[in-house]
Amino acid sequence: MRIVIIGGSGHIGSYLTPRLATAGHDVLCVSRGVKNPYRPDQAWKQVKHVVLDRDAEEAAGNFGERIAELDGQAVIDLTCYTPASAAQLAEALLGRVEHFLHCGTIWIHGHSCQVPTTEDAPRSPFGEYGVRKVAIEDYLLRLARTKGFPATLLHPGHLVGTGWNPINPQGNFNPAVFTALAQGTTIALPNLGLETVHHVHADDVAQAFQQALTHRSVALGESFHVVSAAALTLRGFAEGMSRWFGQEPKLEFHSWEKWRSLVSEKDALSTWDHIAHSPNCSIEKAKTLLGYQPRYSSFEAVQEAVADMQRRGVIEGN
C-alpha cells in the first residue's frame, strides 16, 4: 500500500513510519524537514521524504491538494489540531483516498466520570485542545456517515518514548521530579495523589495505526482509544518509580492551593490540566475490533523513557 504520513518524523511517526516501511508498504513521510526522527531505524532508508510546511501551505489554501497529489491509498494525519485544518485536508481527499486515519486524544472526554471510560461515554470536554479535537472528530465522523469519507480516529493517551520527557508522578514534565525519586528525596503531590494519568508508548500507538490499516473494514467510521492497559494514580506512579530506582517512597501531600505554591507556574498549570482530566480509558474496543495489544504497561513505557533520560544526563542519580 502507498501510505502518506503527515508528521511522519515526530513522536508517533518516529515509530510508525519505519514500522510500516518494514511491513513492506511504500511510505511517504511528510514533514517540515527541520529535525531528525526520535529514534534510528534501518527502515528509514526505504522511506520517501516530502518536505512541506503545513502552516504555510494551509494559509495559502494548498495543503489538502498537495497531500492529495501524493496519490496515497492511505493518509495518516498526526499533526491536525483545528477543525479548519481537518476540513481543508478531508475535502481535498474526498473520493481520492481509500483510508484516512486521524490522530486525536483521550482529552476529548474532559474529566473522567465512570471509569474506565469508553469511546461512547457522555463527554464534557474543556480546554482549547480537547474542545478542538472533539470538533475534528465530529466533523470527520459526520463526513464518513454522509459522504462515505473513509475516516478512522485513534485517540492516544500521554505519549511516551525515548528522546522526550514523559509525564511524571506530579502530572507535569519537569525531569527534576524523577531526579528526586532517583535520589530518594521527598516529593510533594497534590491532594491525596489519587488522580490518574494514562500513558501509552508511542510504538503501541504505531501498532494501533497499523492494525487499523489492516482491519480497515471494521475501522472505517469508528474511533478508538489507544492507551496502556491501565492508568496510574499519581501516588502509585511515584511509589512504583521510587522502588524502580531502588528507593523507598518518600511522599508528602498538600491541598491544591498549597501544592501549587511549591512549584513553578508552568508546572502547576501542566499538573492542573492532567489532574483535572484524570483520564482512565478503556481499550476493549480497539482490542476487539483491531486486535490491539499494547506491548508496554504504563510503568514499562515510562521506565524505558527514564532510562534514556539517565543515559542523556537529563536525570541525576541512580
Reply yes or no on whether the pLDDT at 314 is more than 80.
yes
User: What percent of the chain clears pLDDT 70, i.e. is strictly above it?
Assistant: 99
Within 10 angstroms of residue 63's Cβ, the number of other Cβ atoms is: 22
CATH superfamily of 2-159+199-226: NAD(P)-binding Rossmann-like Domain (3.40.50.720)
Reply yes or no on whether the pLDDT at 33 is more than 90.
no
The reported pLDDT for the residue numbered 233 is: 98
Average pLDDT over residues 95-114: 96
Can you give the residue ranges of every domain in the chain? 2-159+199-226, 164-198+230-279+296-311
Report pTM: 0.96
What angle do the packed helices 13-22 and 202-214 form, to 10 degrees? 40
| Banded model confidence at residue 318, pLDDT cuts 50, 70, 90 | low
Reply yes or no on whether the pLDDT at 317 is more than 80.
no
What does the block give as the cell for 260? 501549587
Cα 242 from Cα 236, distance rounded (Å): 10
Rg (the chain; Cα; Å):
20
Reply yes or no on whether the pLDDT at 61 is more than 70.
yes
The reported pLDDT for the residue numbered 316 is: 81
Tell me the fold of 164-198+230-279+296-311.
Answer: UDP-galactose 4-epimerase; domain 1 (3.90.25)
The closest of 72, 77, 97, 83 to 31, measured between CA atoms, is 77
Q: Tell me what the pLDDT averaged over the chain comes to.
A: 97
Omega within 30 of 0 (cis) for the link into 125 = no
Given CA atoms 204, 207, 213, 218 in this order, what sign does their dihedral have? Answer: negative
- Residues 6 or more apart from 148 whose CB is under 8 A from it? none
Cα 295 from Cα 160, distance rounded (Å): 13
Match 514523559 to its residue by C-alpha cell: 166
Average pLDDT over residues 36-44: 92
